[in-house]
């Protein structure tokens, strides 16, 4: 259980202080839900959670909370929301939350002050009319008046609602080569680190491959285009919204290689073995601070999953301390390129040492042959 989550703690304050009622009849939808102690201090009857990030979804399941898939038409008397940092993605979620509220239902959201709390409150006000608010733990929780009811002070802007709902729709980027959407990694451009790695991939890579932290599929597409010997490719991605895009972007390659798409937390390990792994590992979670431990774990997992002689091609920011785990996990490691603050590394899985063959023992026939030899020879 996550014990220190100020935004989650603040989100629940209006209910703990009896400023807002918790619905007694009907379910409560929690968008971008996170597990934490605040969810368990009081009974939360009917709480269902939606979470597209695999580690957070698994934490919710371990805590016994129900998960729902996005896209149902159910209307809820209460919709909770922990908005993401990306503005367009957040606005799309505000619109979803308002549209998901039942007549008389409310939307309650919370953001850290340094994550755009005031802007988020202004956005919800623009969309749904007057809001209440409360600040604590350097966070701001804000909520609508009862929605979709004639006698309410809420004033939903229908045109803005439709506009913001469309913000999450996949759209073309990179001159139409890829589909992407707000909120996924490098959503509106080709990430320069990934592009640098793609440019260094040798054409002789072949066999069964994996892309760890595949995002919307850029590196996988480049790998298949540059390396015709790749017969099968598994994409592992923890963010479900990105994996949906990867399926779309890899569709033209279904006849070239056997493709697998896995909503999976790479840090938990991989179920298969590979000849080739490519990766631009993440090194952040929800906060802005570097988390090199995530990248180190990606490297260790790649080493475990590669066959002897298998090759890892990796890109990382130059300052990230990955060399120790690379040296400990692989038989050989070389820096292929350093450019624009990034480093490209090839690491090869060591092959097991061949056992030294014992000399063949002499038998009687060998001894007779030796005894017949001329001693002058």
What CATH code is carried by the domain that includes residue 66?
Answer: 3.40.50.150
The tally of domains found in the chain comes to 2
pLDDT band (50, 70, 90) for residue 64: very high
Which residue did the predictor score with more confidence, 23 or 360?
23
- Same domain for 33 and 16, yes or no, is yes
- Same domain for 262 and 282, yes or no, is yes
Instruction: Indicate whether 242 belongs to any domain.
Output: yes
Which residue did the predictor score with more confidence, 353 or 77?
77
pLDDT at 365: 64
- Same domain for 184 and 326, yes or no, is yes
- Same domain for 155 and 255, yes or no, is no
- Same domain for 157 and 265, yes or no, is no
Instruction: Indicate whether 315 belongs to any domain.
Output: yes
pLDDT band (50, 70, 90) for residue 352: confident
Average pLDDT over residues 78-107: 96
State the chain's mean pLDDT as an integer.
Answer: 92
- Same domain for 205 and 121, yes or no, is no
**Does residue 10 register a pLDDT over 50?**
yes
Instruction: Indicate whether 369 belongs to any domain.
Output: no
- Same domain for 218 and 134, yes or no, is no
Instruction: Indicate whether 257 belongs to any domain.
Output: yes
Instruction: Indicate whether 362 belongs to any domain.
Output: no
pLDDT at 374: 53
- Same domain for 156 and 182, yes or no, is no
Instruction: Indicate whether 145 belongs to any domain.
Output: yes
- Same domain for 128 and 213, yes or no, is no
- Same domain for 137 and 16, yes or no, is yes
**Does residue 30 register a pLDDT over 80?**
yes
Q: Which of the listed residues 124, 145, 168 is the one where a domain comes to its end?
A: 168
pLDDT at 1: 45
Q: Which of the listed residues 114, 137, 168 is the one where a domain comes to its end?
A: 168
pTM for this entry:
0.90
Instruction: Indicate whether 370 belongs to any domain.
Output: no
Percent of the chain at pLDDT exceeding 90 = 83
- Same domain for 163 and 211, yes or no, is no
Please tell me which of 7-16, 144-153, 281-290 the model is most confident about, judged by mean pLDDT.
7-16
pLDDT at 66: 94
pLDDT tens per residue across span 192-208: 999 999 999 999 999 99
Residue 192: give the domain boundaries.
171-348
Instruction: Indicate whether 254 belongs to any domain.
Output: yes
- Same domain for 79 and 191, yes or no, is no
Of the candidates 213, 253, 256, 260, the one whose C-alpha atom is nearest the C-alpha of residue 233 is 260
């Amino acid at each position: 259980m996550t014990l220190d989550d100020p935004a989650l703690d603040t989100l629940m304050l209006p209910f703990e202080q009896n400023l807002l009622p918790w619905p007694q009849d009907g379910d409560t939808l929690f968008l971008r839900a996170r597990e934490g102690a605040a969810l368990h201090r009081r009974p939360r009857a009917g709480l269902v959670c939606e979470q597209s990030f695999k580690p957070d979804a698994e934490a919710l399941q371990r805590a016994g909370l129900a998960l729902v898939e996005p896209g149902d038409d159910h209307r809820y008397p209460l919709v909770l929301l922990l908005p993401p940092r990306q503005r367009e993605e957040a606005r799309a979620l505000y619109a979803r939350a308002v549209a998901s509220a039942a007549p008389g239902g409310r939307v309650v959201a919370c953001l850290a002050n340094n994550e755009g709390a005031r802007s988020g409150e202004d956005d919800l006000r623009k969309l749904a009319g007057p809001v209440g608010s409360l600040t604590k733990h350097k966070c701001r929780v804000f909520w609508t008046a009862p929605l979709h009811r004639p006698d309410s002070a809420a004033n939903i802007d229908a045109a803005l609602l439709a506009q913001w709902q469309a913000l999450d729709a996949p759209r073309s980027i990179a001159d139409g080569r890829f589909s992407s959407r707000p909120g996924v990694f490098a959503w509106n451009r080709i990430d320069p680190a990934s592009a640098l790695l793609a440019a260094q991939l040798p054409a002789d890579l072949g066999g069964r491959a994996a892309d760890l932290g595949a995002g919307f599929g850029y590196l996988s597409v480049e790998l298949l285009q540059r390396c015709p010997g790749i017969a099968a490719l598994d994409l592992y991605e923890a963010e479900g919204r990105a994996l949906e895009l990867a399926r779309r972007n890899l569709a033209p390659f279904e006849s070239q290689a056997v493709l697998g798409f896995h909503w999976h937390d790479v840090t938990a390990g991989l179920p298969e073995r590979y000849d080739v792994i490519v990766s631009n590992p993440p090194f952040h979670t929800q906060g802005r601070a570097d988390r090199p431990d995530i990248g180190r774990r990606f490297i260790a997992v790649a080493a475990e999953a590669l066959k002897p002689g298998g090759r890892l091609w990796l890109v990382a920011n130059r300052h990230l301390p990955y060399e120790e785990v690379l040296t400990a996990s692989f038989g050989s490691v070389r820096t292929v390129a350093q450019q624009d603050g990034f480093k490209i590394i090839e690491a090869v899985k060591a092959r097991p040492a061949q056992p030294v063959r014992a000399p063949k023992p002499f038998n009687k026939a060998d001894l007779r042959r030796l005894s017949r030899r001329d001693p002058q020879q």
